[in-house]
Amino acid sequence: MSESFKALIVNQHGENFTREVKSIDKTFLKHGDVLVKVAYSTLNYKDALILKNGARLVKEFPHIPGIDFSGTVVESENKNFKKDDEIICTGRRVGEIYFGGYSQFAKVNGDFLIKKPKDLTFKQAMILGTAGLTALQCAFTTKLAREELLLGEKVENVLVTGASGGVGSIAVMILSKLGCNVTAVTSKESNNEYLKSIGAKSITKSSDLDKDPRPLDKGIWDGAVDTVGGNILSNVLPHIKENGIVAAVGNASGIKLNTTVMPFIIRGVKLWGIDSVHTSSKRREFLWGEASKLINFPLLEKSVKEISLEELLKIFPTMLEGKTTGRYIVNLNK
Ligand X SMILES: NC(=O)c1ccc[n+]([C@@H]2O[C@H](COP(=O)([O-])OP(=O)(O)OC[C@H]3O[C@@H](n4cnc5c(N)ncnc54)[C@H](OP(=O)(O)O)[C@@H]3O)[C@@H](O)[C@H]2O)c1
Which among 163, 146, 134, 166 has a CA at the least distance from the CA of 223? 146
Q: Which helix (H) or strand (E) holds 291?
A: helix 281-294
Cα–Cα distance for residue pair 26/244, rounded to 1 Å: 50
Q: What share of the chain is helix, strand, coil (3-state, %, to 5)?
A: 35, 30, 35
Do 238 and 217 contact (CB within 8 A), yes or no?
Answer: yes
Spatial CA neighbour of 198 closest among 167, 229, 222: 167
The one segment of 38-46, 53-61, 173-181, 214-222 that binds ligand X by CB under 6 A: 38-46
Q: Does 183 bind ligand X (CB under 6 A)?
A: no
132 interacts with ligand X by CB under 6 A: no
Site track for ligand X across 87-106, x = CB under 6 A: --------------------
Q: Which of 41, 142, 186, 234 binds ligand X (CB under 6 A)?
A: 186
Q: Applying CB under 6 A, which of residues 103, 104, 141, 187 lies at the interface with ligand X?
A: 187
- For residue 301, count CB atoms less than 10 angstroms from its CB and return exposed for 0-12, middle for 13-18, buried for 19 or more: middle
Q: Is 275 in the site for ligand X (CB under 6 A)?
A: yes
What is the distance between the alpha carbons of residues 264 and 125, in angstroms, rounded to a whole number? 36
Contact 243, 267 (CB under 8 A): yes
Within 32-171, strands assigned E span 34-42, 68-76, 86-90, 105-108, 114-115, 157-160
Question: How far apart are alpha carbons 61 and 240 in whole angstroms?
Answer: 45
Residue number, 34 or 238, with CB nearest to ligand X: 238
Q: Is 46 in the site for ligand X (CB under 6 A)?
A: yes
Rule CB under 6 A: is residue 127 a binding residue for ligand X? no
Looking at the Cβ atoms of 29 and 54, the one nearer to ligand X is 54
Determine the interface stretch with ligand X among 39-47, 58-66, 110-118, 297-305 (rule: CB under 6 A).
39-47
> Helices 122-139 and 166-177 sit at what angle, rounded to 10 degrees?
70
Residue 42 engages ligand X in binding (rule: CB under 6 A): no
Assess 131 for contact with ligand X (CB under 6 A). Answer: yes
CA–CA distance, 164 with 327 (Å, rounded to integer) = 9
Provide the angle, in degrees to the nearest 10, between the axes of the packed helices 166-177 and 281-294. 70
- Residue 134 beta carbon to ligand X: minimum distance, rounded to whole angstroms: 4
235 counts as binding ligand X under rule CB under 6 A: no
Instruction: In angstroms, give the least distance from the CB of 72 to ligand X.
Output: 25
Closest distance to ligand X from the beta carbon of 137 (Å): 8
State the nearest-atom distance from the C-beta of 310 to ligand X, in Å: 21
259 binds ligand X (CB under 6 A): no
User: Which lies closer to ligand X via its Cβ, residue 34 or residue 101?
Assistant: 101
By CB under 6 A, is residue 295 in contact with ligand X? no
User: Of 228, 237, 247, 295, which one interacts with ligand X (CB under 6 A)?
Assistant: 228
Closest residue by beta carbon to ligand X: 165
Q: Which residues bind ligand X (CB under 6 A)?
A: 44-46, 130-131, 134, 162-168, 186-188, 191, 206, 227-228, 232, 249-253, 274-277, 319, 322
